[in-house]
A and B are shown apart, each in its own frame.
Chain A
């Protein structure tokens, strides 16, 4: 009887170790879709911090047409609940001669400590045309679109991400 228990325990332990090793390896090999880009996360005097998390696959699916949507996560990395976090999206062209930036804003009322809030922006991403006939010295390339996302805490600290969309 003791031998059976011994062998069953050994087999279970070996299974757990092997499964753990496979899980570890799988975690190493899988690139997460949502990436936290945190070098400049906002951290107020109270130690509260906010971060922005974007999904690269969603960004890659954006197209130059109307009714595009962008989901993002605002994460509270502090130990206290955050209130009234302003999240803004600015959509503009790489061509600075075009002055038609569009702004979108939302306010997240509460984000629990170590929690996150998911925010969705719906916006237009129109294809742009050069406004004038260009001489040969001017930019021969079409301009890219830029999304600038900023999460601002009530104390003024903010986290920002700039997304440059390819043509």
Chain B
């Protein structure tokens, strides 16, 4: 394919234009997210679903739907699945066991139902072991994992695993509909579930399931075309969730923002806007902090402002901006943020705004940061450090 090579002698180019060299990905970088930001990945690939190991020594995430993990203090990336694996979510259940929700080796064009897989750190296999089929949602549980699976076409069941990934308890009582996402209460005795009722197109019901009694109850049901986005979070006596009208255009005319953060008391009732969040705030995803006192929020102050990371303290009714980014696109997927186990930082995924012109960089592709979605650790001040 090579056509020709010819020496042109003293053909000099015109004026020099320099591009600043990139900082190695392992070090502290400032890609527009703050000077203390640290990159956990670099180069091409659509990253997603970060998950810290319980001790905070490793972080797993998806790249173009396959699963990788790496130590937080080195760049020794390890792949846990084949590249054709389609992972939706990952959760560590111990320092050496990673649970993966996804589908292995899809074939044809039919969507393959997701299953629950287990990958062990001490094994080099790229074929994780299947634990359960037709699983719709996973979440970290006390000493293991909690997951929801399909029971027929209209109902879901719940199960708990041990730290090894083996199923420890299977709950006999079913939940009507499909569980889209779930998370645990602060004491780990209950789970809050976002459920799509049978026959509905939207995830519109919030359930609470008592893991001791094995019974569930409906907490609230959204009206009309409203849907719950992402994973509801349990903080104190309230359940927090992001909801809005499905398929509403972000830039539509009107004063009501498309997605808001709501909360509802754990005993049930009508949802109310979360305190401390401005009326114009557009929410994308939320995660409760490990101490259960703060909510990490990815969203925008208003429909026309850039996406940033915020921390909400509902008791103080205070929303603090962690990043004040103007030119990075922070990924807004429901699973695209994760607190570190100690609550000192949050992992997010971001990239610079893509250009419509060819971009030339003076570095190998696998060292580039801003040009592709990459994973960053952003330090977050503790409640005692936050300005009042």
Contacts and interface: CB of A to CB of B under 8 A. Distances in A.
A and B: partners? yes
B358 A135 contact: no
B11 interface: yes
B358 A163 contact: yes
A122 interface: yes
A78 to B, nearest CB: 14
Interface in B60-85: 63-66, 83-84
Interface stretch (A7-15, A16-24, A33-41): A33-41
Given A132-B109, A133-B109, A137-B333, A96 B13 contact: no
Interface stretch (B44-52, B92-100, B265-273): B44-52
Nearest to A116: B11
Nearest to B106: A132
A59 to B, nearest CB: 4
A101 to B, nearest CB: 10
B276 interface: no
Given A37-B17, A104-B2, A111-B7, A137 B361 contact: no
A166 interface: yes
Nearest to A131: B84
Interface string B340-356: 00000000000000111
Interface string A124-141: 100000011111011101
A117 B365 contact: no
Contacts of A27: 15
Interface residues on B, range: 35 or more
A117 B5 contact: yes
A165 B1 contact: no
Interface residues of A, number: 65
Given A106-B5, A162-B368, A32 B13 contact: yes
Nearest to B102: A135
Given A36-B13, A139-B46, A162 B3 contact: no
A164 B2 contact: no
A130 B221 CA distance: 37
Interface in B7-50: 7-21, 43-46, 48-49
A148 B335 contact: no
Contact of B111 (A94, A111, A114, A133): A133
Interface string B358-377: 11111111001001100000
* Candidate in B7, B49, B84, B356 with the most chain A CB atoms within 10 angstroms: B7
A52 to B, nearest CB: 9
Given A114-B10, A135-B88, A108 B17 contact: no
B360 A37 contact: yes
Interface string B95-128: 0000000010010111100100000000000000
Given A99-B83, A135-B111, A137-B333, A40 B5 contact: no
Interface string A115-159: 111111111100000011111011101001010101000000000
A164 B359 contact: yes
17 contacts: A39-B20, A40-B363, A53-B13, A75-B12, A75-B13, A94-B44, A95-B44, A96-B83, A111-B7, A115-B8, A117-B5, A120-B4, A122-B1, A138-B65, A161-B362, A162-B360, A164-B358
Interface of B: 1-21, 43-46, 48-49, 63-66, 83-84, 86, 88-89, 103, 106, 108-111, 114, 333, 335, 354-365, 368, 371-372
Given A137-B335, A138-B46, 9 more contacts: A33-B14, A36-B13, A54-B360, A73-B8, A118-B5, A122-B2, A132-B106, A163-B359, A164-B359
